[in-house]
Structure 1
Amino acid sequence: MSLADEDADDNPYLRDPPTEFDPLEEISTDEAREQVGLLRDAIREHDRRYYVENDPIVADRTYDALFARLRELEGAFDLDHPDSPTRGVGGQPLEEFETVEHVAPMLSIDQSGDAEDVREFDERVRRAVGDEGASERASGNAGEIEYVCEPKFDGVSMEFVYEEGRLERAVTRGDGHEGDDVTRNARTIGSVPQTLHGDYPDFLAVRGEVYMPKDAFQAHNRERIERGEEPFANPRNATAGTIRQLDPSVVAERPLEVFYFDVLDSSDGADTHREELERFPEWGLRVNDRVEVADGADDRPAVEEAIDYRDRLLDVRDDLNYEIDGTVIKVDDREAREELGRTARHDRYAFAYKFPARAEVTPIVDVAIQIGRTGRVTPVALLEPVDVGGVTVSRASLHNPEEIAAKNVDVGDTVRVQRAGDVIPYVEEVVEKGAENEPGSYYELPDHCPVCGSAIERDGPMAYCTGGLACDAQLRRSIEYYASDDGLDLEGLGEKTVRQLVEEGLLESIADLYELESESLLALEGWGETSAENLLSELDSAREPPLPDFLSALGVPHVGPATARELAREFGTFEAIRGTAESEPERLEGVDEVGETVAETIHDFFASEANAEAVDAILEHVSPQEVDVEEGGDELEGLTFVFTGSLEGMTRGDAQELVEAHGANATSSVSGNTDYLVVGDNPGQTKRDDAAENDVPIVDEEAFRELLGEREVGFE
């Protein structure tokens, strides 16, 4: 039962509650149990007033203090309970979801964007339930067919089952007959009551739509972009991806809400749909405030009122804080619904009148700042989702500050969006300036990186974050590049793996790669002993990398594999390259592939204090090999080698340096130009597959040594 206003005096945590509490050691178990009961009742009421009534009576900070106290008491006095509001903050990850049958079919809805199809639906309804004697409540007078009109939410439909007022399960729609049991995830959503309020039925199964509010979606996407993660395409995708997370704590961190809109089954049914919706708030179930009844009271057919409702909702669509793609028109009378029945796919009592898709023109809601591996700043427009060439687009590149100024693009402007090469969305032009924007106004980049706080500096039309490797946004991309083909070619460290290791807190710098432990990896989802051992072995074999590979892997702007090789041949050691870059950058200009601009970029990279600390940390684990080209020759000229796995008699870096010193090429990936793939212990499967595909000979270390001997290349 809910806390009535007259009971407020009996619960000190309802109105003007205290936020300072007695220390735990000063209260007894009985006092703790009483306080826990009062806190639970009060928090449930605060939830109802916040989510259902939209009329909170305490500040967010006060609510947080009450919630923290309840969690503290439950933990200290072992008073946990499945119905407690604190059970909604997550728990241990699940291995998989259980499939559960629905209490009643959750069918789809017949739909169309044509008003004539809506009128035909109305005619079918009147023919079925309007004939004489077919129904006492629909006696053949078209005016007595009444409809409930609701927004058609673009979210994830779910079944919520309550027994004796307690949430027993929450199930995704699935195939309409059974779905995934996501109860633990649903408990983390604030607008899902754990227990019902008021005079609720003993058994209740309701259908609701889980969604992510548009402002929360844009904020969440902005955070993802600034963390270097791929943003969600639209709120529905974000919702669907969230509700099926195996880790409830992830769901708890994401901003989901629910609207309830139908009764699937109940031990105390109502005569009409509108009566059901009126009861929902009394039970703590949140309903949408845009629901209307089309009853033909104005001497107009109810169906015409329903069509008007859709048109009016279309006009305010962009002002709503949730995505809708049309309206749903439902027969109000429950008995008439049963007479109408259903097909194998949809109920005959309801029809969805769809909106036309937004096409190419849409407003900019916000601008997110994306930081690349080299620190380059790319502004990204966050849009109201729009259809562009059959694809829903919710973000578009603004390229750089100079282009923003040239197009006078600002937040709030309505813009035309195109897709370059049918792939990358970009803002083509401003169609209409925002109401609060001056003509010619445009978005200006912040002065500091939103991720690390370092200064953002302009370089011609571009802008860059000066944080370097100390910037978290650059960290993941830097690690990915460090492990890539242009870096140290570390197999098993692709984008997905790096993202997982960073998100789990195992990598906060490139140097952390070399401190990974098997136990930490095995505790992660998707890892087994073999994959963990392979990765650690791969990292071990890369502790003495070839100098060119290491130099390229650091991600110095403009220093790719070719430039790194020339620098290595010129200076021989990493220390010499670094020292020259810091104190005599003009000497770099004498190296092939290096001009004045590149020399200055290399100097700036190594002169950065943050970069220096990051590089020093890596060097505690890594010793780049020296290059001495004078001792080499041309014995292996014209040959190209690729190495994988760990060699017994020499490091993989030694082998690469050796063949290069004698005229051969050592590349990181197998292609049709490769002459030999040299395979050591724990080799990567990808390179072997590529060798087989390109008919490249695969040789072990013994055969490699024999080849060197035949060419009179010393290797001891």
Structure 2
Amino acid sequence: MVEEPDDNPYVRDPNTSFSPVEDLSEAAAREQVRDLREALEYHDYRYYVANDPVVADRTYDALFDRLAALEEAFDLDDENSPTRRVGGEPLDELETVEHVAPLLSLQSSGDAAEIREFDRRIRDAVGDVAYSAEPKFDGFSVEVVYEDGAFERAVTRGDGQEGEDVSANVRTIGSVPLHLSDAPDFLAVRGEVYMPRSGFQALNERRIERGEEPFANPRNAAAGTVRLLDPGTVADRPLDVFFYDVIDTSATLTAQTEAFDLLRDLGFRVNDRTTVVDDVEAVIDYRDRLVAARDDLEYEVDGVVAKVVDFEKREELGSTARHPRWAFAYKFPARTGETTVERIVVQVGRTGKLTPVALLDPVDLQGVTISRATLHNAAQIRELGVREGSTVRIERAGDVIPEVVEVVEGGGADDDFTMPETCPVCDGTVVQEGEHHYCTNASCPAQLRRSLRHFCSRDAMDVEGVGTEAADQLVESGLVESLADLYRLDADDLAALDGWGERSAENLLAGLEASKDVDLGTFVYALGIRHVGSERARALAAAFSLDDLMDASVDDLLTVEDVGPEVAEAVVSHFDAEANVETVERLLDAGVTPERRDRGTELDGLTVVFTGSVPGYTRSELTELLETHGASVTSSVSGETDYLVVGENPGQRKRERAEEEGVETLDPEAFEERILSRLD
């Protein structure tokens, strides 16, 4: 519990009759600003976390307005001031930041037998344990870091190793502390940003009134809001957060219960349904009780999480590359409902996959209005016997995505549904792979946004600035109709887009220009051929020139290691599409020069891991540089690692692992001297 500040005149029953700002000396203004910030942070805690405000809203507003006036008049702005909760300047882009420690996913299942098996493995390994039983929130996970008690940054989960810096947006959430009293020197916590149900419904009502598309569910609304570039827009949306893990800290913690005590003492919002149980049957009972209560909660939950309480036993159990062995998510059963299929249409996804979609007579499913549901593929339609006019039962898979699971009435084989032979969006060629159908045109508007993001991603052409929002804008504005159009963009067109400025436009154009000189394997990967990841792309580039690859047959491709029939068919289908060949030709005409780079031997046998950023390089640049000279760059430290390179904002876990394994660490200067100097 956060204690009330002593001797602060603005905490209880404050007098809001202030003297004019111009009558204050700078010293008096600084003192008043300090007291106002402390008082407003306390009031934020009482309102958002404790749900027990001690001043009226009009009083809070008067204190807030006074602080804003003083900050402006005396140039006393602070990025962690309570006034920043209303949002700051729009951002050009979201920067990528490495996590303090990997944010792993969880083993999960809705089958009681699976969690009992998890419990058996735990007890076989470390003996009797207690579990922390916690709601599994259906929101958006973030890492929040504090240094010397001050909010430092907030980062999305991303791929678990690194995510996007959303600090400006998370600062706007009232339940996120900006300053911590009596805090450890360093603290990294994990929380779940969510949109309360009532706030979600109100937001959707406003969007519909403005003629905008409503959000599908609270999770999508929260995730989309957190990643906006305008913190002012974020501040206007009803976000909240629960904190549930201490990722890293300079304090000493030995159990999950101590972690929760620390979070509560520091003023973080912790869910009051969290409890400790002695065995797995109590976890199952906890889950069943939460299933019964979930429709009455103001937040969405899709299961419960069981975590071993004792940290020493967690350490002994360890983790896989994807999830900790000491935690398990026991999922809820999907919600179900019945309605009528009005029509069956085909939707083209961003990977080119064609998916039949049932347009439904709208039905309220546990408080959510469902008007469409996926049918997955033509085979499932035949198996279920779905047709237009059928009464069907739907479920929300994973408590989010609606899908048809059963025909209740009116099913049969009459008027069998058939997949189209050409893409319903671009009229491109459709190919079938197993039970699924794909549009082969990478420039199809339905998948172009995804293609742009992939093409510009770090491991592909490494062009910064083309995230989800930018890709949507480029396509919707008509500036980009194929990948090659990226290289025809100009600064004036970009600067005219909402949220873009001269600097962001120039940065994107400079990145595109720098990307033209590219390794052939990287270029092949950037094209986004189905089933062709970065390693397969390098293998194909080693075996074929670009021209030969585009003309290769299935038999030719099968001679390459790790290329099976499915991959070979996908490559042939990709280059059989005239639009894809034209895209490659236009990229070459624009000056993109993919060349096969010979692998050197200077660093043969060397295994390197990076944590943090090395000034002057992106991670993909360093990986490509070292690998082209014979080294192996891996993502985790092991006994086979030769060096751990520790850059700026490094993760703690890799350094701890390096110490355990006796792996030598290098700072950026030593890395330049010991490794990069060999390449001169």
Question: How do 1:228-267 and structure 2 match up within 5 A?
Answer: 228-267=211-250
Q: Flag structure 1 segments of 5+ consecutive residues without an equivalent.
A: 131-141, 296-301, 363-377, 393-414, 426-494, 501-517, 532-688, 690-716
Match of 1:42 among 27, 39, 44: 39
Compute the displacement of 1:50 (Å). Answer: 1.8
**Matching residue of 1:314:** 291
Match of 1:324 among 301, 311, 321: 301
Residues 360 and 386 of structure 1 are in contact (CA less than 8 Å); yes or no, is this contact kept in structure 2?
no
Compute the displacement of 1:359 (Å). Answer: 1.3
Compute the displacement of 1:27 (Å). Answer: 2.5
* AA at the equivalent of 2:106: I
* AA at the equivalent of 2:79: P
Deviation digits for residues 495-539 of structure 1, max 9, x if unmatched? 989x99xxxxxxxxxxxxxxxxx99983733599xx9xxxxxxxx
> Distance in 1 between the 2:11 and 2:113 partners?
52
**Change in CA separation of 1:53 and 1:327 when aligned onto 2, cut-off 3 Å:** same
**Matching residue of 1:155:** 139
> Distance in 2 between the 1:115 and 1:35 partners?
58
Compute the displacement of 1:382 (Å). Answer: 9.7
Residues 209 and 260 of structure 1 are in contact (CA less than 8 Å); yes or no, is this contact kept in structure 2?
yes
Residues 48 and 284 of structure 1 are in contact (CA less than 8 Å); yes or no, is this contact kept in structure 2?
yes
The reply on whether 1:169 has 2:153 as its aligned counterpart is: yes
Match of 2:498 among 524, 530, 541: 524
Normalised by the size of structure 2, how large is the TM-score? 0.52
The reply on whether 1:111 has 2:108 as its aligned counterpart is: yes
**Matching residue of 1:356:** 333
Compute the displacement of 1:112 (Å). Answer: 0.5
- Secondary structure of the equivalent of 2:284? helix
**Change in CA separation of 1:389 and 1:320 when aligned onto 2, cut-off 3 Å:** same
Compute the displacement of 1:31 (Å). Answer: 2.1
- Secondary structure of the equivalent of 1:231? coil
**Matching residue of 2:130:** 146
Aligned residues: 384
> Distance in 2 between the 1:387 and 1:147 partners?
36
- Secondary structure of the equivalent of 1:315? helix
Compute the displacement of 1:89 (Å). Answer: 2.2
> Distance in 2 between the 1:382 and 1:76 partners?
53
**Change in CA separation of 1:64 and 1:519 when aligned onto 2, cut-off 3 Å:** farther
Question: How do 1:549-564 and structure 2 match up within 5 A?
Answer: none
> Distance in 2 between the 1:71 and 1:391 partners?
50
> Distance in 1 between the 2:272 and 2:215 partners?
27
Normalised by the size of structure 1, how large is the TM-score? 0.50
Match of 2:322 among 336, 341, 345: 345
> Distance in 2 between the 1:416 and 1:24 partners?
65
Match of 2:25 among 17, 25, 28: 28
* AA at the equivalent of 1:274: T
The reply on whether 1:212 has 2:201 as its aligned counterpart is: no
> Distance in 2 between the 1:179 and 1:284 partners?
25
**Change in CA separation of 1:12 and 1:248 when aligned onto 2, cut-off 3 Å:** same
**Matching residue of 2:262:** 279
* AA at the equivalent of 1:252: A
Question: How do 1:242-641 and structure 2 match up within 5 A?
Answer: 242-295=225-278, 302-360=279-337, 384-385=367-368, 522=496, 524-525=498-499
**Change in CA separation of 1:387 and 1:176 when aligned onto 2, cut-off 3 Å:** farther
Q: Flag structure 2 segments of 5+ consecutive residues without an equivalent.
A: 340-360, 376-391, 404-471, 478-491, 506-578, 580-680
Residues 45 and 267 of structure 2 are in contact (CA less than 8 Å); yes or no, is this contact kept in structure 1?
yes
**Matching residue of 2:552:** none
Deviation digits for residues 479-499 of structure 1, max 9, x if unmatched? xxxxxxxxxxxxxxxx989x9
- Give percent identity, aligned residues only: 59
Deviation digits for residues 358-417 of structure 1, max 9, x if unmatched? 11269xxxxxxxxxxxxxxx999796237787559xxxxxxxxxxxxxxxxxxxxxx998
**Matching residue of 2:169:** 185
Compute the displacement of 1:320 (Å). Answer: 0.4
> Distance in 2 between the 1:308 and 1:388 partners?
34
> Distance in 1 between the 2:82 and 2:493 partners?
34
Compute the displacement of 1:313 (Å). Answer: 0.3
Deviation digits for residues 651-703 of structure 1, max 9, x if unmatched? xxxxxxxxxxxxxxxxxxxxxxxxxxxxxxxxxxxxxx9xxxxxxxxxxxxxx
Deviation digits for residues 135-174 of structure 1, max 9, x if unmatched? xxxxxxx3xx100000000001111111111111111001
- Secondary structure of the equivalent of 2:40? helix
**Matching residue of 2:210:** 227
**Change in CA separation of 1:152 and 1:80 when aligned onto 2, cut-off 3 Å:** same
* AA at the equivalent of 2:217: N
Which structure has the larger Rg?
1
Question: How do 1:646-657 and structure 2 match up within 5 A?
Answer: none
- Secondary structure of the equivalent of 2:336? coil
Residues 4 and 42 of structure 2 are in contact (CA less than 8 Å); yes or no, is this contact kept in structure 1?
no
**Change in CA separation of 1:31 and 1:361 when aligned onto 2, cut-off 3 Å:** farther
**Change in CA separation of 1:102 and 1:19 when aligned onto 2, cut-off 3 Å:** same
Question: How do 1:671-710 and structure 2 match up within 5 A?
Answer: none
> Distance in 2 between the 1:384 and 1:162 partners?
37
**Change in CA separation of 1:387 and 1:353 when aligned onto 2, cut-off 3 Å:** farther
Deviation digits for residues 193-238 of structure 1, max 9, x if unmatched? 11113x3211111111011111101110111011110000001100
Residues 207 and 263 of structure 1 are in contact (CA less than 8 Å); yes or no, is this contact kept in structure 2?
yes
The reply on whether 1:200 has 2:183 as its aligned counterpart is: yes
Residues 473 and 497 of structure 2 are in contact (CA less than 8 Å); yes or no, is this contact kept in structure 1?
no
- Secondary structure of the equivalent of 1:360? strand
**Matching residue of 1:4:** 4
> Distance in 1 between the 2:196 and 2:22 partners?
42
**Matching residue of 1:624:** none
* AA at the equivalent of 1:53: A
**Change in CA separation of 1:209 and 1:27 when aligned onto 2, cut-off 3 Å:** same
**Change in CA separation of 1:315 and 1:387 when aligned onto 2, cut-off 3 Å:** farther
* AA at the equivalent of 1:291: T
**Change in CA separation of 1:14 and 1:72 when aligned onto 2, cut-off 3 Å:** same
**Matching residue of 1:77:** 74
> Distance in 2 between the 1:167 and 1:361 partners?
47
Residues 335 and 366 of structure 2 are in contact (CA less than 8 Å); yes or no, is this contact kept in structure 1?
no
**Change in CA separation of 1:269 and 1:388 when aligned onto 2, cut-off 3 Å:** farther
**Change in CA separation of 1:81 and 1:261 when aligned onto 2, cut-off 3 Å:** same
Match of 1:56 among 53, 56, 77: 53
Deviation digits for residues 446-505 of structure 1, max 9, x if unmatched? xxxxxxxxxxxxxxxxxxxxxxxxxxxxxxxxxxxxxxxxxxxxxxxxx989x99xxxxx
The reply on whether 1:91 has 2:88 as its aligned counterpart is: yes
Residues 388 and 417 of structure 1 are in contact (CA less than 8 Å); yes or no, is this contact kept in structure 2?
no
**Change in CA separation of 1:109 and 1:387 when aligned onto 2, cut-off 3 Å:** farther
